[in-house]
């Protein structure tokens, strides 16, 4: 963190936070000089500025033993926060008898007070203190400094107050808590939304590079703003024109009157940096750079400098290399799109301009952001903004890459409890970015990681843009289904049968209907599907739809109509619209050959499969949301509407009991010792792998490592026969004859070892001897840790066919036991565990608990790059691992999820 990081403030501004440097002395003295006498008194109590100046010399001197962070705004140092560990006596206690204690203090420039910077710095100092073993932070505050007392009280940490000697002492426990996570997310949400408000709902817009040529990009942006009816001031900026599109044109940003919230930059790439600096000087809030020729053209340094200019000035950056931004509610079309987007309830972000333009041809939107190279503003930022946007009911994202996938998952999990988030992520194919050799790592590709990540967050991942359009239309126009029961009604038996088949494939139910529920002509089939025949008139179809829309026996209605039969297309559409006007369950239609909306409310699809696929997505999302609401029942909220506890698993992840701490410490010591011995990492020796699993209570069969045939025979005799011998050295032992089972005598064990050693050669460094377990179902439990996505847990069909059968389920930890059971039930082989063909049911709860424990291990130890427990033998009363492979590798520590920062 030597260079620090950028952070968002409550008012949407940007600050830069970094460690204090000795070279900051002059800037600290300037901060003191700018501070009011009252601020100096509240911070230093007595001595005023003289004391403050002397202290700034002290903390930048060689003997300073504290930990300090400073913050800069527009490259000016405006704050310093610190904690100073207590000296302590010989037993580690300070004078008051407390352990691991530090004094806490902060000085904030008067000009930036009230924008959340002080709270943010104290959060970061507390996180750093906890990471360095400091449990108790102590702040001595004057009683009249109620603002600081309130900030400390509301920080989200456990606090205690004591009064005496003319001061108030506030004790804070730096340990992370669910409450801290909740308030940090709430503050981040408020800041993120504020930072984009002046970009997506600006009061004034400048278009830099707008010329007279109607085909020029800048002119097209300006024309779109005018034609869209943007109500605020519009300022074309071009040194070569006096007037553009009837508006006064200014030669430079410095000449533009009044404040400018948003500047759209459409100048050649070699001039973009100069323009960005001009906008920074003019205090523009946001920049949309439609110009290409940056990272996508190999000019990464230029793009990095553009971002630096924007961050230093507190400007958010959209692009470069983008189409622009649209907010239909604000009548803002700051883009060079060829057609004006129609107003709707879907918010759309696209990393591809071409895909975005194609989507806008088919979707009505509340707003649209083309992020281009995504140098700054990303899907994470836009989720924060659209979460509370009253004009948005559905959020749709087209992504080519994740900037910060872990943060995406945290934000999306919260947003999806209120609004559906749809995702099309390109790049499903391709191998991982590092060499892997375990069964789990071979199966857990980066795309599988994306699937697991978004699934855990409740995001609806779709395979194509077409599916995104279909699903978004339904979710934006209709209520969520309360169940899986579908009534199919229409005038054509063939397409209705296709719809019923599609329902079955997607797990939807087409139930039989009560006799007499739907009244129709005698030739009609009124079961389900309800075939009213090709002669059915519009009124007949409408009456049947109206009946089914209020029937308790179904949760959704699918109308299937093939024109031009009956009353014709127009009349039938009107009848369907009238019949569904007051429906409280989803109604959708398949009008053969026609996509769109009926009466702006009822989504219509050209083919039955399209309609059913969209409905199935809505059903699965509704079920996820219901489960999520159940898990969060009774959870309070904090400022910004963010849940005080995001989920039961999040709370579990933050729990820091003494026993859990001891387990982590013991496990980390095993990993640390192995990486000290082999700094490049590698596969753990069996004994070390066994000790690591033992830390987490994972059941491992009794084993003995041996280095000779006689030792193998002796170990087998001691542990009991029949025995198993497995070679140490080869990764996939079975492939090279490195596993021998059912050895009934010490002599058989001795011969097996000798034959194995001869066949494998020097690669075999020894063997593991185990007692043969009784037969059971062979399952694999595994995991990987991706630097970007984090840990991923797998359960699947085990044994030598693990990769061949590819029967696997993945999740992102932490997991509950119920979630682990759900993973197991998803396996095609799961009937073997539940009493297949009269067999006794296996110990599924015990297996599920092992999966949960592996998830904890992977979360605690990011150095565990890949892990296989294969097989785990699951019997009627146990789930015991008989073979384990764990690979560790050095890795950079991940920043705390509680650390608010821009990527």
**pLDDT, average across residues 735-762:** 92
Same domain, 212 and 295: yes
Asked if residue 454 belongs to a domain, the reply is: no
Tokens for 535? 């002669």
Q: How many CB atoms lie within 10 A of CB 362?
A: 16
Tell me the whole-structure pTM to 2 decimals. Answer: 0.88
Same domain, 815 and 670: yes
Residue 99 is classified by DSSP as: B
Stronger pLDDT, 93 or 773, i.e. the higher one: 773
Same domain, 764 and 795: no
Same domain, 40 and 100: yes
Asked if residue 483 belongs to a domain, the reply is: yes
Q: Find residue 873's DSSP bridge partners.
A: 778, 880
Q: What is the pLDDT of residue 449?
A: 84
Same domain, 199 and 129: no
Which helix (H) or strand (E) element contains residue 460? strand 460-462
Report pLDDT digits (tens) over 147-199. Answer: 999 999 999 998 899 888 889 999 999 988 888 999 999 999 999 999 999 99
902, pLDDT greater than 70: yes
Reported residue count of the chain is 903
Q: How much of the chain exceeds pLDDT 70, in percent?
A: 93
Q: What is the pLDDT of residue 641?
A: 44
**pLDDT, average across residues 3-21:** 96
Same domain, 742 and 780: no
CATH number of the domain at 537, please: 3.40.50.261
Q: Do 187 and 642 contact (CB within 8 A), yes or no?
A: no
CA angle (229 as vertex; 224, 233 as ends), nearest 5: 90
Least confident residue range of 210-224, 257-271, 374-388, 630-644: 630-644
Determine if the peptide bond prior to 169 is cis (ω within 30°). Answer: no
CATH number of the domain at 741, please: 3.30.1490.20
Using 50, 70 and 90 to split pLDDT, how confident is the model at 1? low
**pLDDT, average across residues 381-396:** 98
Same domain, 85 and 107: yes
Least confident residue range of 42-51, 263-272, 546-555, 827-836: 42-51
Asked if residue 498 belongs to a domain, the reply is: yes
Last residue of a domain, one of 739, 757, 772: 772
314, pLDDT greater than 60: yes
Q: What is the pLDDT of residue 736?
A: 86
Q: What is the pLDDT of residue 750?
A: 95
Using 50, 70 and 90 to split pLDDT, how confident is the model at 630? confident
Q: How much of the chain exceeds pLDDT 90, in percent?
A: 79
- Give residue 271's domain range: 177-339
SS3 652: helix
Residue 763 is classified by DSSP as: G
Of 141, 325, 307, 148, nearest to 228 (Cα)?
A: 325
Q: Do 32 and 50 contact (CB within 8 A), yes or no?
A: no
Strand order of the β-sheet with 343-350 is 332-335, 324-327, 365-370, 343-350, 394-399, 421-425, 460-462
Q: What is the pLDDT of residue 764?
A: 94
Q: What is the pLDDT of residue 568?
A: 96
CA distances from 749 to 15, 724, 743, 881 (A): 68, 8, 6, 21
Of 574, 589, 582, nearest to 490 (Cα)?
A: 589
For residues 865-879, b (16+ Cβ closer than 10 Å) or e, as one string? bbbbbbbbbbbeebb
Task: Round the CA-based radius of gyration of the chain to a whole number and report it.
Answer: 32
CATH number of the domain at 665, please: 3.30.470.20
Using 50, 70 and 90 to split pLDDT, how confident is the model at 895? confident
Which helix (H) or strand (E) element contains residue 437? none
Q: Would you list the DSSP string of 226-276? A: HHHT--S-EEEE-TT-SEETTEE-BSSGGGS-S--SEEEE-S-HHHHHHHH
Residues whose CB is less than 8 angstroms from the CB of residue 246 and which lie 6 or more positions away in sequence, other chains included = none
Same domain, 521 and 585: yes
**pLDDT, average across residues 697-705:** 90
340, pLDDT greater than 50: yes
Last residue of a domain, one of 297, 315, 339: 339
Stronger pLDDT, 882 or 224, i.e. the higher one: 224
Q: What is the pLDDT of residue 434?
A: 41
CATH number of the domain at 130, please: 3.40.630.30
d(CA 234, CA 712): 84
74, pLDDT greater than 90: yes
Last residue of a domain, one of 751, 772, 793: 772
Alpha helices in 457-607 (DSSP H): 465-477, 493-505, 538-549, 569-579
**pLDDT, average across residues 551-568:** 96
Asked if residue 419 belongs to a domain, the reply is: no
| Antiparallel, parallel or unpaired: β 136-141 and 167-173 | antiparallel
Counting Cβ atoms within 10 Å, is residue 840 exposed (0-12), middle (13-18) or buried (19+)? exposed
Same domain, 695 and 706: no
Taking each helix axis from N to C end, the angle separating 269-281 and 300-313, rounded to the nearest 10 degrees, works out to 10
Strand order of the β-sheet with 234-237 is 234-237, 205-208, 262-265, 286-289, 316-318
654, pLDDT greater than 60: no
Same domain, 514 and 562: yes
Which helix (H) or strand (E) element contains residue 629? helix 608-631
The structural domain count of the chain equals: 5
d(CA 349, CA 352): 9
220, pLDDT greater than 80: yes
Least confident residue range of 238-242, 502-506, 616-620, 701-705: 701-705
- Phi-psi label, residue 156: left if phi above 0, alpha if psi -120 to 50, beta otherwise: left
CA angle (331 as vertex; 326, 337 as ends), nearest 5: 40
**pLDDT, average across residues 501-517:** 95
Q: How many CB atoms lie within 10 A of CB 75?
A: 9
d(CA 321, CA 325): 12
Asked if residue 366 belongs to a domain, the reply is: no
Question: Cα 650 from chain centroid?
Answer: 13
Q: Provide the mean pLDDT of the chain.
A: 91
Q: What is the pLDDT of residue 21?
A: 96
Specify the residue for token string 């693990």: 802
d(CA 281, CA 747): 86
Asked if residue 252 belongs to a domain, the reply is: yes
631, pLDDT greater than 90: no
d(CA 326, CA 889): 46
Q: What is the pLDDT of residue 633?
A: 52
Same domain, 762 and 793: no
SS3 58: helix
Highest mean pLDDT among 167-181, 300-314, 399-413: 300-314
Using 50, 70 and 90 to split pLDDT, how confident is the model at 506? very high
Using 50, 70 and 90 to split pLDDT, how confident is the model at 643? very low
Asked if residue 585 belongs to a domain, the reply is: yes
Question: Cα 452 from chain centroid?
Answer: 10
End-to-end CA distance of the chain: 13
Stronger pLDDT, 381 or 883, i.e. the higher one: 381
Asked if residue 442 belongs to a domain, the reply is: no
d(CA 3, CA 140): 30
**pLDDT, average across residues 277-285:** 98
Same domain, 94 and 165: yes
Stronger pLDDT, 495 or 687, i.e. the higher one: 495
């Amino acid at each position: 963190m030597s260079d620090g990081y950028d952070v968002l403030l409550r008012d949407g501004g940007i600050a830069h936070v970094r460690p204090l440097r000795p070279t900051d002395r002059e800037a600290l003295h300037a901060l003191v000089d700018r501070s009011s006498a009252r601020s100096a008194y509240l911070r230093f109590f007595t001595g005023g500025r003289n004391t403050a100046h002397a202290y700034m010399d002290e903390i930048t001197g060689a003997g300073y033993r504290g930990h300090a962070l400073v913050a800069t705004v527009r490259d000016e140092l405006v704050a310093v926060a610190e904690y100073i560990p207590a000296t302590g006596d010989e037993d580690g206690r300070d004078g008051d008898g407390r352990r691991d204690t530090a004094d806490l203090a902060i000085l904030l420039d008067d000009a930036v007070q009230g924008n959340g910077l002080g709270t943010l710095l104290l959060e970061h100092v507390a996180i750093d203190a906890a990471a360095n073993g400091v449990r108790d932070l102590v702040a001595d505050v004057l009683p009249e400094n109620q603002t600081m007392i309130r900030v400390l009280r509301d920080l989200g940490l456990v606090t205690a107050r004591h009064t005496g000697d003319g001061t108030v002492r506030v004790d804070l426990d730096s340990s992370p808590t669910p409450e801290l996570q909740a308030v940090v997310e709430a503050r981040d949400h408020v800041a993120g939304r504020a930072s984009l408000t002046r970009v997506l709902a600006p009061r004034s817009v400048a278009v830099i590079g707008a010329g007279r040529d109607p085909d020029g990009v800048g002119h097209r942006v300006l024309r779109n703003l005018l034609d869209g009816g943007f109500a605020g001031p519009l300022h074309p900026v071009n040194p070569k024109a006096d007037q553009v599109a009837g508006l006064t044109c200014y030669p430079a940003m410095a000449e533009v009157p009044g404040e400018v919230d948003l500047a759209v930059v459409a100048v050649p790439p070699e001039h973009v940096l100069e323009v960005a600096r001009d906008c920074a000087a003019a205090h523009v809030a946001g920049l949309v750079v439609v110009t290409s020729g940056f990272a996508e053209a190999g000019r990464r340094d230029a793009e990095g400098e553009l971002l630096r200019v924007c961050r230093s000035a507190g400007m958010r950056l959209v692009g470069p290399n983008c189409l622009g931004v649209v907010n239909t509610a604000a009548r803002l079309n700051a883009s060079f799109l060829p057609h004006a987007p129609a107003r709707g309830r879907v918010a759309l972000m696209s990393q591809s301009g071409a895909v975005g333009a194609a989507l806008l041809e088919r979707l009505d939107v509340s707003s649209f952001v083309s992020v281009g190279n995504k140098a700054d503003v990303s899907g994470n930022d836009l989720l924060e903004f659209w979460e509370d946007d009253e004009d948005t009911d559905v959020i749709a994202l087209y992504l080519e890459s994740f900037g910060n996938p872990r943060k995406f998952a945290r934000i999306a999990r919260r947003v999806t409890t209120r609004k559906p988030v749809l995702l099309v992520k390109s790049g499903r194919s391709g191998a991982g970015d590092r060499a892997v050799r375990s069964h789990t790592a071979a199966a857990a590709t980066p795309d599988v990681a994306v699937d697991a990540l978004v699934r855990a967050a409740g995001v609806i991942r779709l395979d194509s843009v077409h599916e995104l359009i279909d699903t978004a239309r339904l979710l934006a126009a209709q209520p969520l289904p309360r169940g899986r029961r579908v009534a199919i009604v229409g005038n054509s038996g063939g397409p209705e049968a296709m719809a019923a088949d599609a329902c079955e494939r997607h797990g939807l139910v087409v139930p039989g209907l009560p006799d007499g529920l739907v009244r129709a002509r005698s030739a009609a089939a009124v079961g389900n599907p309800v075939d009213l025949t090709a002669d059915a008139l519009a009124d007949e179809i409408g009456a049947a739809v109206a009946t089914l829309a209020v029937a308790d026996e179904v949760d959704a209605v699918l109308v299937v109509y093939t024109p031009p039969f009956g009353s014709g297309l127009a009349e039938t559409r009107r009848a369907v619209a009238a019949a569904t006007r007051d429906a409280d369950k989803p109604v959708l239609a398949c009008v053969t050959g026609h996509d769109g909306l009926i009466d702006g409310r009822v989504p219509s699809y050209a083919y039955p499969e399209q309609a059913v696929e969209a409905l199935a997505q809505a059903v699965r999302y509704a079920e996820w949301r219901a489960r999520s609401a159940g898990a969060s029942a009774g959870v309070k909220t904090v400022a910004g509407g963010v849940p005080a506890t995001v989920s039961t698993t999040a709370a579990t992840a933050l729990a820091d009991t003494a026993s859990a701490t001891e387990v982590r410490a013991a496990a980390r010591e095993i990993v640390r010792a192995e990486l000290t011995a082999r700094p490049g990492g590698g596969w753990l020796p069996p004994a070390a792998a066994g000790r690591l699993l033992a830390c987490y209570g994972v059941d491992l069969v009794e084993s003995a490592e041996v280095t000779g045939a006689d030792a193998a025979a002796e170990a087998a005799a001691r542990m009991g026969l029949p025995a198993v011998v497995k070679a140490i050295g080869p990764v996939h032992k079975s492939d090279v004859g490195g596993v021998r089972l059912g050895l009934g005598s010490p002599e058989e064990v001795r011969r097996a070892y000798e034959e194995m050693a001869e066949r494998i050669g020097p690669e075999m460094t020894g063997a593991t001897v185990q007692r043969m377990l009784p037969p059971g179902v062979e399952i694999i439990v595994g995991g990987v840790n991706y630097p970007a996505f984090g840990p991923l847990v797998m359960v699947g069909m085990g044994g030598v066919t693990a990769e061949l059968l590819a029967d696997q389920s993945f999740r992102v930890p932490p997991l509950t036991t119920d979630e682990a059971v759900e993973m197991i039930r998803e396996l095609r082989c799961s009937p073997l565990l539940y009493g297949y063909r009269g067999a006794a049911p296996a110990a599924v709860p015990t297996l599920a608990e092992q999966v949960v424990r592996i998830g904890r291990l992977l979360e605690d130890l990011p150095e565990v790059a890949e892990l296989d427990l294969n097989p785990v033998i699951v019997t009627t009363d146990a789930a015991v691992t008989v073979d384990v492979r764990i690979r560790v590798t050095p890795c950079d520590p991940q920043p705390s999820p509680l650390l608010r920062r821009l990527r």
